[in-house]
Amino acid sequence: MKLNTDMQVVKISDYLWEIPPSEKPDMLVPARIYASAAILGAMDRGVFDQVTNVACLPGIHRYALCMPDGHWGYGFPIGGVAAFNPEDGIISPGGVGYDINCGMRLIRTDLSLSEVQPKLELLMTELFRRVPAGVGSRGFVNLSRRDFRDVMRQGAGWCIAKGYGWEEDLERIEERGCLDGADPTHVTDYAIERGINQLGTLGSGNHYLEIQVLSDNGIYDRATAAAMGLTGRDQVVVMVHCGSRGFGHQVASDYLKVFEKAMHRYGIFVKDQQLACAPFRSPEGQDYFGAMNCAANTAFANRQVITHQIREAFEAVFGESARRLGMQLIYDVAHNIAKVERYRDGEWLVHRKGATRAFGPGSPELPACYRGIGQPVICGGSMETGSYLLVGTDRAMQETFGSTMHGSGRTMSRAQAKRTVRGEQLLRDMKQHGILVKAVSMSGLAEEAGLAYKNISDVVETVDHAGITKKVAELKPIGNIKG
């Protein structure tokens, strides 16, 4: 098989491949890639280079991992997962990503396609008005600096206290929407000034708000779907993909600079400047962890405020309360994060960068409603093809630090996508295929065309066959809002 690397890649199973530590100087552990043969063959050179760079970082435990949606990223590959000993290992912004706690959220409804379709245009207009998107967009929540520091410390809980959501939303958010250890004193003024006006905004790039439909034949595991409140019959759901906006990016940029200098003091040498890191227990490592948790909590709050706006839009259009419309949160999960998590072999600082937590059944971290089935995993595809709902497994707990894929991954650059398709034409084509799009930027829309992405179904099949997550349902888009 022809691969985009000269390194030896050993087949472990049909869906798991290993690069031994002998393939690169300073590798401390093997690198492992979850992929079918076809996906592995299509992976870019950056994946192989970067996952083996990660395997060289001090304190790494067992493996450096990459999920099947992996592609080149900054420092870690997108799809990268690595666990470090919290006592003598490192923490790296390159293992979290610039958009700290970028994540996915899925909200159910009792509405069917036949009820929504006649009002879809109105609903999309209402959502587009209430959820700001695109360059420089500002949210409706006016925060003082003191309020913003509370958001950093309390995350989604701050929103619930202010009336932007329901108390029961919290148990259906990873870590109840609030990471311990958030310390606003380690956040720069630049970051605060970038983020203070952005609560409740989508952003742009690959971020979106999507109205989706679950048909009967889109359900793969009826009992598990039912436990999440999904019964099919053309049921309408709402998916949100966004993160900590400019605030998180500024935190990451600020600490990359700090770590570039600190590494020399700690005698750490990395193979890529974007892997700049510091010992987790060092003052610099703890400062970043405190600031990163602030950004993560702000992202949870951002998605919570957006959820509030979505519920209000549905109420305005359908003339019923969101509760009567059955708009419960199914789950909210991060895919850019570093957290200390407990596993059978100890406590590890797990970095996930473009990878989703996927805790299996019985995990004490899960709410009672999901402890029997495992954690819901929300994976977004391109706006033309659809998305998947999966569930975490015990195998993920054993093999991948409870982690799995997060999306489909790009195969075409933004510039090439814009040359291949025009936003206005894409808008018309998608409407013909039953998908209504509201976009701030036509060029931004063209960049996100379905042709620029891998087929998410191939990626989902890989994690399903590998056993690190199981398919529950496939969701098809009927309306998409983009920045």
Q: Residue numbers of the site for other proteins (CB under 8 A)?
A: 44, 71-74, 78, 98-99, 134-138, 190, 193-195, 197-198, 203-206, 245-246, 249-250, 252-253, 256, 273-274, 410-416, 440-441, 443-444, 447, 483
Q: C-beta of 352: minimal distance to other proteins in Å?
A: 17
C-alpha gyration radius of the chain: 21
Residue 406 appears among annotated catalytic residues: yes
Q: Which two tokens stand for residue 75?
A: 């420092």
Q: C-beta of 251: minimal distance to other proteins in Å?
A: 10
What is the C-alpha separation between 15 and 469, in angstroms, rounded?
A: 13
Q: What is the DSSP letter of 154?
A: H
Closer Cβ to other proteins, 138 or 324, answer by number = 138
- Calculate ∠ Cα 62-66-71, nearest 5°: 155
Closer Cβ to other proteins, 368 or 415, answer by number = 415
**Candidates 61, 207, 308, 406; catalytic one:** 406
Q: C-beta of 44: minimal distance to other proteins in Å?
A: 8
Sign of CA dihedral 408, 410, 411, 414: positive
Instruction: Characterize 189-198 residue by residue with b for buried, 16 or more Cβ atoms within 10 angstroms of its Cβ, and e for exposed.
Output: eebbebbbbb
Closer Cβ to other proteins, 197 or 293, answer by number = 197
Q: C-beta of 324: minimal distance to other proteins in Å?
A: 33
Q: C-beta of 132: minimal distance to other proteins in Å?
A: 9
10 Å CB burial of residue 314 (0-12, 13-18, 19+) is: buried
Q: Distances in Å between the alpha carbon of 216 and those of 140, 228, 434, 478?
A: 38, 15, 18, 16
- Cβ atoms of residues 379 and 107 within 8 Å: no
Q: How far apart are the first and last CA of the chain?
A: 40
Active site residues: 406
